Amino acid sequence: MRASLAALAAAALLALPFWLPSPYHLHVVIMAGIFTVLALSLNLLLGYTGQLSLGHAGFFGIGAYTAALLALKAGWPFWLDLPAAAVAAGLAGWGIGRLALKVRGAYFVLVTISFAGVISLVSVNWMELTNGPLGLPNVPAPELFTLSFRTKAAYYYLVLAATALAWLVCHRLVHSRLGRAFLALRENEALAESVGVDPTLTLVLATVVSAALAGVAGALYAHYVRFVSPEVFLFSYTVTMVIMVVAGGKGTLAGPVVGAVLFTVLPEALREAIAWQWQMLAYGVLLVLLVFFLPRGIWPALSGWRR
């Protein structure tokens, strides 16, 4: 029964561009895919190791800028600048991990916020490298030999593949020994240490993978919107990611996916349903209500009902 449901879902996903009513819907789905990768990445830290990273927009932005700069200034193809973006973000993750993970809890939160803040200011002020606030327009669309991924349908499949890959990476990681170490650290660090888990190493690894995934999302964003500016470091991106993970259900693999899809679709749905004056207010109120009624997140509540 479950296998056939999964097969049906997979078929629906693969045929998506054909049954969605308009390119606009496809656009929303593509954005949802990019944010799913982001949410999954944040979930590794937030959900599995229990560390609240509020600087994740920093890794996203580093990925976006790396991809855009390599494509525009060095002429690298998408297939090279995407892994490069992951590496760059991963390196940043390693740096932050080593620095920040000497501290825990509230302090870690603040280091991550500061990191994102500094990177944001660098991107605005280092004109020679990033073109500052003027941004980097005309990032080229990916190409595979003669096939161009400029069209939405093609890009959708790209994002779908990337999302599936990200999910797979998270799945394998979480179910591995390292994943169990994450959980052990989340539940009781002292105890975990006593059974041989090296907290700093484990957490740094988690940060690196998490950052690299966020970098991948950044590269996908850069080649889709095709314009990168310091706004990618906006705190609102981090806030959105946090909302997606926590409201979706942190510490689960499906939670961030649900959260990402819901909170990408929601603002767009509000665009249709409510006059512009009330959209953001409605968003805030809905969020508060959601947390109130489903404090553990949507996915845990849903899977709880099924039992």
Q: Return the residues of window 14-53 that contact another protein according to CB under 8 A.
A: 22-24, 27-28, 31, 46, 52
Shortest spacing between CB 99 and another protein, in angstroms:
6
- Smallest separation (angstroms) from another protein to the CB of 180: 20
Residue number, 207 or 229, with CB nearest to another protein: 229
Closest separation in Å from C-beta 277 to another protein: 6
* Stretch 118-157: interaction string toward another protein, x if CB under 8 A: x--xx-xx-x----xxxx-xx-------------------
Burial 179-209 (b: 16+ CB within 10 A, else e): bebbebbbeebeebeeeebebeebbbbbbbb
136 beta partners: 228
229 binds another protein (CB under 8 A): yes
Write the CA distances from 112 to 103, 144, 230, 269, 275, integer angstroms. Answer: 11, 37, 17, 32, 36
Residue 172 in contact with another protein, rule: CB under 8 A: no
Decide whether 21 or 196 has the Cβ nearer to another protein: 21
- Please tell me the distance from the alpha carbon of residue 290 to that of residue 280, in angstroms, as a whole number: 15
- Smallest distance from another protein to CB 302, Å: 17
Q: Is 180 in the site for another protein (CB under 8 A)?
A: no
Helix axes 177-187, 152-174, angle to 10 degrees: 70
| Residues 84 to 113 in contact with another protein, rule: CB under 8 A | 99-100, 102-103, 106-107, 109-111, 113
Question: Which of the ranges 75-83, 176-184, 189-197, 275-283 carries the binding residues for another protein, by CB under 8 A?
Answer: 275-283
Count CB atoms within 10 A of the CB of residue 98: 14
Q: What is the 3-state secondary structure of 20-55?
A: CCCHHHHHHHHHHHHHHHHHHHHHHHHHHHCCCCCC
**By CB under 8 A, residue 291 contacts another protein:** yes
Identify the sign of the CA torsion 23, 29, 31, 33.
negative
Could you tell me the smallest distance in angstroms from the CB atom of residue 98 to another protein?
10
Which of these segments, 70-78, 163-171, 191-199, 286-294, binds another protein (CB under 8 A)? 286-294
Q: How far is the CB of 74 from another protein (least distance, A)?
A: 20
- Out of 275, 305, 306, 307, which residue is the one contacting another protein (CB under 8 A)? 275
Query: Counting contacts by CB under 8 A, is residue 250 touching another protein?
Result: yes
Query: Coil, strand, or helix at residue 104?
Result: coil
Nearest to 207 by CA among 67, 100, 63: 100
DSSP letter for each residue of 174-213: HTSHHHHHHHHHHH-HHHHHHTT--HHHHHHHHHHHHHHH
